[in-house]
Structure 1
Amino acid sequence: MTENVSDKPENSNVVWHPTAVSPAERRAMHGHNPCVIWYTGLSGSGKSSIANAVDRLLFDRGCHTYLLDGDNVRHGLNRDLGFDDAARVENIRRISEVSKLMQNAGLIVGTAFISPFIADRALARELIGGHFIEVFIDTPLAECEKRDPKGLYQKARAGEIKHFTGISSPYETPISPEVHIRTTQLSIADAAAQVLSYLEQRQIIASLDLD
């Protein structure tokens, strides 16, 4: 049986179509540089709370932002995926592609996902390029279990949830994240301020004039 090349996702019949609006024009309109802030950490580490705090601060400054949260995305785009290793890889691949599109539109995109595997985060970084900012929300497993805001660790320990990161599936710690947040030492507000400080240093956003 002859394979139909048009069924392939990548072939010579698919050509990138250039857009009429340039990245520089989008930056000028938005008043800031685009980027993807990739929050990674264990369940219960505080990713969503910190990501939301940062998003609020950026929005209040007039920045154009959007936050992609792990649970929210699985209600729609990734509702067909499970939680085994292969599904987790595909989950992050899809999010990486969506994040890149939103970043290309000139937005500051936050992504709050466990994203447990170094290789997957590396692929996201490669896809998004220099606009990728990895933020490691570093919270010890014991502390995450103590918090257990959704009761997931209790279920995982009881064997009710398979492939649960930190219990029955590994979490691979980031090697050299752009921002390293130790939540046992910082409040949510202080953690958010640390992220904003980095964005100012990178000139993603303008520094506030304190004079």
Structure 2
Amino acid sequence: MHGDVPAYGLWFLAIVNAGIFILFAFSFFKPKTAQDWRSLGAFSAFIVALFVEMYGFPLTLYLLAGWIGSRFPELDPLSHDAGHLWPALFGWSMDPHWSPFHILSYVLIGGGFFLIASGWKVLHEAQRAGSLATTGPYAQVRHPQYLGFALIMIGFFFQWPTLVTGLMLPVLLVMYWRLAKREERDVETAFGDVYRRYAQEVPAFLPRLGRLFKERKEA
């Protein structure tokens, strides 16, 4: 995990990648209220902080350079591989792109994108019909899109941990939870007992595995 060419100062890549993810989030958030805009702004800040350190300036590695140098003298703290950090913290001398953390990050990020895209389709059709979204991912959790964004952020943290995103992640998760609770009150007002029965059967964020496996067997 040493000797590779430093790959920082690539500000164009940082801007392009951050812009893509922020536009993606904006297209699904469609912010209307001040709280919506705050949530989108916090997510955007997380993405910017992530890609600035990934391609621009490795702030976390810079701040931890002394500690990393003393604990892992074979690791070049200015190398791009060092930014993945988790393998070094566990003392693994391996290509970080094949570490369990990196592989898990792809699973989480891919799953997050899938939930957001499939959930948006179901929600859009339900809104056009003036009904409650209860099919697709909404049959397993009440907030698949917020869960999707949470999985994406957690996935990126497993892939490229930084001090800034580590501090921001729990704040963002709380913001999404509060936003989801506010939306639940609005939907309950609109659909009444229909929504209350749905909320009793379907969890907010974590699916019931037994029910999920049962539905798959029936399908």
**Shorter-chain TM-score: what band?**
under 0.3
Structure number having the greater helix percentage: 2
TM-score, reference length from structure 2: 0.23
The one of the two structures with greater contact order (alpha-carbon pairs below 8 A, sep at least 6) is 1
Q: Give the greater-gyration-radius structure (CA).
A: 2
- TM-score, normalization by structure 1: 0.24
- Specify which structure has the higher proportion of strand: 1
